[in-house]
Structure 1
Amino acid sequence: MTPRSDTGRPRSYAALLRGINVGGNKKVPMAELRTVLEGLGHQDVRTYLQSGNAVFRSTATDPEALARALERAIEAHFGFPVPCLVLDADRLAAVAADCPYPAAELEGRQLHAVFLAEQPDDRLTSVDAAAFAPESYAVGDRVLYLYVPDGLGRSKLAEALSRPALVKGNTATTRNWNTVVKLVELTSEDA
């Protein structure tokens, strides 16, 4: 199924791939990812870092359909499934603008956005955030803002929030704040 097109001018999107190029598993070279995206008819394809961030322009108007098409193309090309989220420029900008933490005052490794395919349900309330202080999180529109002063690798709160029972059925992928800011910049209309 091809994502529907509005035949208008192309819109900017970011594709976030989950769980690639980590520990030698699910290798997805960025040059090949660009080729896959171009093969889907997308324009101005660029990648950022090796962790599965790509930006592109498309006349398609349904980010979810774009994500499903990309997942199918990646599995056909690389031979393994990779969950993907596609966000339009407006959603990325809103994530940055709605951050409840003082992002400009923090190091990029201290603040993360956990992007979600769907709005989280009340299963998150089972996590006693106060038990993990000074770490904390806030729920936004299909995003969790995660403040981890010592970084994600040492975060007990991030570990608790990623338990399968809490995220089952909801594709999630995490980016540090530096990456969020860069993706907003790359998908802005002036980029």
Structure 2
Amino acid sequence: MPTYVAFLRAINLGATRKLPMALVKEHLPAAGYTDVDTYLATGNVRVTTGARSAAKVRADLEKRFADAGGFEVPTAVLTPAELSATYDEAVALDVDAVRRYVAFLPDPPSDEARAALADWDTAGEGVHLGARHLHWWTDGGTTTARIFQPAQLKRLGLQLATTRDLKVVTTLAERWGV
């Protein structure tokens, strides 16, 4: 049976949008998922299922998380091979920056987003767009990074991206990648 890695967006932030990983680990096996594992409270989940499509897994997980949490949970679903390839791509970029991240996208970015990001030129930050992820780095703080301002993300059609520090992606690739 195929294994998938899911990245849940905007959970366990502040007093609202709580979706404890213990609940996820309890809820998913009851729904037929096996080999369920989580890492950190930020919404990193590995599952094994009979479903042969990441899109079907995504739709099912999003519905289950919405039912369990009472709010919409946009989710990006990758295979372990895609996770490993994303990590390998990050390493190959060989970027010297204070902070490095990967933003996982539920859907492939549009041609317009690709064109806009191909010309990205902002002092102290950089981007590289992958198949369904965005590598980004900054020498400043994440809250001031121009790429991740809400209006910018919306303009690029990337508002459902869920971001992980490269250290977390490294750990997940080691644990759940191929």
TM-score range, shorter chain: 0.7 to 0.9
CA distance in 1: counterparts of 2:169 and 2:17, whole angstroms: 23
Query: Equivalent of 2:101, from 109, 112, 129?
Result: 112
Output the TM-score relative to the length of structure 2.
Answer: 0.86
Q: Where in structure 2 are the equivalents of 1:1-191 lying within 5 Å?
A: 10-99=1-90, 100-102=92-94, 110-124=99-113, 125-126=115-116, 129-130=120-121, 132-159=122-149, 162-167=152-157, 171-188=160-177
Counterpart Cα distance in 1 of 2:177 and 2:79: 10
Could you say if the C-alpha distance between residues 17 and 147 of structure 1 is closer, same or farther in structure 2, counting changes exceeding 3 Å? same
- Which consecutive residues of structure 2, in runs of 5 or more, have no partner in the other structure? none
Distance of aligned partners of 1:83 and 1:160 in 2 relative to their CA distance in 1, 3 Å threshold: closer
Aligned-residue offset at 1:126: 4.0
Describe the shift of the 1:37–1:111 C-alpha distance in structure 2 as closer, same or farther (beyond 3 A): same
* Alignment size in residue pairs: 175
Q: CA deviation at 1:78?
A: 2.2
Instruction: Name the SS for the 1:178 alignment partner.
Output: helix
Deviation at 1:150, TM superposition (A): 2.5
Identity rate, percent: 29
How large is the RMSD of aligned CA atoms in angstroms? 2.3
1:66-85 deviation line (CA, Å, top 9, x unaligned): 11101111122222211111
Q: Which runs of 5+ in 1 are unaligned?
A: 1-9
The structural deviation recorded for 1:161 is 7.6
Q: Could you tell me whether the CA contact under 8 Å between 2:146 and 2:152 is conserved in 1?
A: no
Structure 2 counterpart of 1:123, one-letter code? E
Provide the TM-score with structure 1 as the length reference.
Answer: 0.81
How far the C-alpha of 1:87 sits from its partner, in A, is 0.9
- Looking at structure 2, the residues matched to 75 and 97 of structure 1 have their Cα atoms a distance apart, in angstroms, of 32
CA distance in 2, matches of 1:119, 1:151: 26
Distance 2:173 2:21 in 1: 19
Are the structure 2 counterparts of residues 176 and 162 from structure 1 closer, same or farther at C-alpha, using a change threshold of 3 Å? farther
Give the Cα–Cα distance (whole angstroms) in 1 for the partners of residues 143 and 72 of structure 2.
Answer: 25
CA contact (8 A) 1:146 1:158 kept: no
